[in-house]
């Protein structure tokens, strides 16, 4: 396989093999090697495109299919769901799809030749935490705070544990966490599926994030691998099976299929990718998923922010063309709304469209931030002008600019007064200093009474195991009592590892 094909294949599993079969109308990845040095910028006229287009992202509308803001004519397209021929009516908003086709240089006349849709994971829910909007399915951590649930799912999400199975679709973070865009609930547990990157390969088993896959007990059909029948660490795969042992996170595989042979080497192909930045070196050198990206000074267009906002864990949509080394030359970078970072506490102060809580500045933007008032004091008109000092508020968003310690809010909810304070965010560089952790400039102080937990809410009995599991960049959630002294400190009653 050529270099570009390998990168694209791995990306499609790590962020989107996702092309999620959530049944439309029925309503950890490995760390990539550093990208090659950025190429010489193209002439002022821009990058010459061959006309071939590849789009990766959730369906946002129909009337043909709209993905990443582009409407693709699907009148002659071959549509597949889980590898089977299907109709456009079998797709739904929120489904992550892979569209291949052609497009003009000005992003018009987009015509789809094929639309592919496969799930990230299908199986029973083994744990759910509605406080953090996280559940575990077949050993895969799924964040569902922004997901669309189909009509078969229960209104009380705690009842997801009673559902026979769920199908999940969405992009994937660098640690393998699925950021669900659509979830469908099933009344019958049928064949289970999971896609991801092979790790810890043994004679009989391998891991996909938190799932142990046994491929010899059945034995499984080993299909489509470059060397017939030979599985290797780092292979992007889809696994199917009919037997799952929940207590051991052990799936007995009936089929393991290699998913890395989906592209040829086509310099100049246009691609649009929605996902999370990782491996950030500079604004000229980073990955989205594990696809290497370079921006072009004075040429790349930024929307929803600026080049200064770029950094690890930022959700973006990147549009551009591949060069002959497999690097995506970005003509546009759009900063997307994400909700990885969360704060819950009383408001310290309010200043125009911004307010401060836990000593952290929260910025809101009209038309971007969604406001909800759960106190009943204000109706649907609730907005930032209704927020007062000492209001108890929950904020969901992301750190923008990256490394600034400020939050761009996607959701602001005012709730009934409570004394509990919560910080969920990424640990800063050099931010692990046992017994303290630094997140968003705040110190999280642990002590002998602090309870440590895994992302499935299970207790970690030995604190040493918690401290060995975290490092700079880890996402954690801490609950406790706010100490108003500077530097601002949260005395942690509970600290939970998130999305590992």
Domain boundaries, the chain: 192-258, 338-418, 420-500
**pTM of this structure:** 0.59
| 139-145-149 Cα angle (round to 5) | 85
DSSP code for 386? G
- Cα-based torsion angle of the residue sequence 75, 76, 82, 88 in order, rounded to the nearest 10 degrees: 10
Could you read off the pLDDT of 320-369 as tens digits, one per residue?
Answer: 888 888 788 999 998 877 778 999 999 999 999 999 999 999 998 876 67
pLDDT at res. 27: 37
Is the CB of residue 309 less than 8 Å from the CB of residue 278? Answer: no
- Distance between alpha carbon 39 and the CA centroid of its chain, in Å? 28
192-258 CATH: 2.40.50.140
CATH class, domain 338-418, is: mainly beta
Could you read off the pLDDT of 23-73 as tens digits, one per residue?
Answer: 443 333 333 333 333 333 332 222 234 456 788 778 877 878 888 778 899
Nearest to 354, CA basis, from 421, 296, 412, 426: 412
How far, in Å, CA of 286 to CA of 283, rounded?
7
How far, in Å, CA of 197 to CA of 232, rounded?
10
pLDDT at res. 357: 93
First-to-last alpha carbon distance for the chain, in angstroms, is 31
pLDDT at res. 450: 96
pLDDT at res. 232: 95
CA atoms within 13 A on the CB side of 189: 15
Is the CB of residue 461 less than 8 Å from the CB of residue 453? Answer: no
pLDDT at res. 404: 86
pLDDT tens digit at each of 500 positions of the chain: 333 333 333 334 444 443 443 444 333 333 333 333 333 333 222 223 445 678 877 887 787 888 877 889 999 999 999 889 999 989 987 898 888 888 887 777 889 999 999 899 999 999 999 878 899 999 999 999 888 898 899 989 999 999 999 999 988 876 788 989 899 999 999 899 999 989 999 999 999 998 999 999 889 999 999 899 999 998 889 999 988 876 665 899 999 999 875 544 456 777 888 878 878 899 899 988 667 899 999 999 998 788 988 888 788 889 888 888 878 899 999 887 777 899 999 999 999 999 999 999 999 887 667 788 888 887 667 888 999 999 999 998 888 887 888 999 888 889 998 889 999 999 998 999 999 999 999 999 999 999 999 877 789 999 999 999 898 888 899 999 988 776 679 999 999 987 53
pLDDT at res. 421: 94
pLDDT at res. 47: 29
pLDDT at res. 401: 81
One fold for both 192-258 and 420-500?
yes
CATH class, domain 420-500, is: mainly beta
pLDDT at res. 452: 96
CA distances to 80, 125, 225, 336, 454 from 230, rounded to whole Å, are: 27, 31, 7, 39, 34
pLDDT at res. 271: 80
pLDDT at res. 499: 55
pLDDT at res. 192: 95
């Amino acid at each position: 396989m050529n270099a570009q094909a390998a990168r694209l294949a791995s990306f499609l599993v790590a962020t989107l093999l996702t092309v999620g079969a959530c049944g439309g109308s029925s309503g950890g990845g490995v760390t990539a090697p550093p990208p090659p040095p950025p190429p010489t910028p193209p002439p002022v006229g821009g990058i010459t495109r061959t006309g071939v287009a590849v789009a990766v992202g959730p369906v946002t509308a129909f009337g043909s299919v709209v993905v990443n803001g582009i409407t693709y004519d699907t009148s002659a397209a071959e549509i597949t769901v889980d590898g089977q021929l299907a109709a456009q009516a079998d797709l739904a908003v929120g489904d992550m799809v892979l569209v291949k086709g052609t497009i003009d240089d000005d992003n018009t006349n987009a015509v789809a030749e094929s639309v592919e849709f496969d799930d990230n994971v299908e199986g029973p829910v083994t744990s759910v935490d509605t406080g953090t909007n996280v559940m575990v399915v077949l050993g895969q951590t799924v964040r569902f705070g922004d997901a669309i649930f189909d009509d078969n799912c229960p209104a009380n999400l705690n009842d997801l544990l009673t559902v026979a199975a769920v199908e999940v679709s969405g992009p994937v973070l660098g640690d393998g966490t699925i950021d669900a865009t659509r979830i469908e609930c099933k009344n019958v547990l049928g064949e289970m599926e999971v896609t991801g990157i092979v790790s810890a390969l043994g004679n009989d088993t391998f891991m996909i994030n938190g799932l142990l896959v046994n491929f010899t007990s059945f034995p499984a059909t080993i299909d489509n691998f470059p060397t017939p029948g030979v599985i290797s660490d780092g292979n992007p795969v889809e696994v199917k099976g009919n037997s799952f042992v929940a207590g051991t996170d052990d799936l007995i595989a009936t089929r393991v299929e290699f998913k890395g042979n989906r592209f040829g080497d086509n310099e100049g192909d246009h691609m649009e990718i929605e996902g999370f930045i990782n491996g950030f070196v500079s604004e000229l050198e980073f990955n989205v998923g594990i696809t290497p990206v370079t921006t072009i000074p004075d040429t790349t267009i930024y929307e929803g922010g600026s080049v200064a906002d770029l950094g690890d864990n930022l959700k973006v949509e990147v549009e551009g063309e591949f060069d002959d080394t497999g690097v995506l030359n970005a003509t546009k970078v759009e900063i997307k709304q994400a909700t990885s970072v969360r704060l819950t506490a009383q408001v310290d102060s309010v200043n125009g469209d911004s307010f401060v809580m836990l000593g952290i500045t929260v910025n809101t933007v009209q038309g971007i931030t969604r406001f909800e008032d759960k106190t009943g004091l204000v109706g649907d008109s609730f907005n930032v002008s209704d927020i007062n000092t000492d209001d108890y508020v929950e904020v969901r968003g992301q750190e923008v600019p990256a490394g600034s310690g400020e939050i761009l809010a996607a959701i602001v909810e005012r709730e009934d007064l409570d004394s509990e304070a919560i910080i969920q965010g990424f640990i800063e560089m050099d931010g692990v200093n046992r017994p303290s952790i630094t997140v968003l400039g705040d110190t999280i102080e642990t002590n002998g009474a602090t309870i440590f937990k895994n992302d499935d809410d299970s207790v970690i009995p030995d604190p040493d195991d918690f401290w060995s599991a975290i490092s700079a960049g880890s996402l954690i959630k801490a609950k406790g009592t706010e100490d108003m002294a500077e530097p601002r400190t949260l005395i942690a009653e509970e600290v939970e590892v998130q999305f590992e």
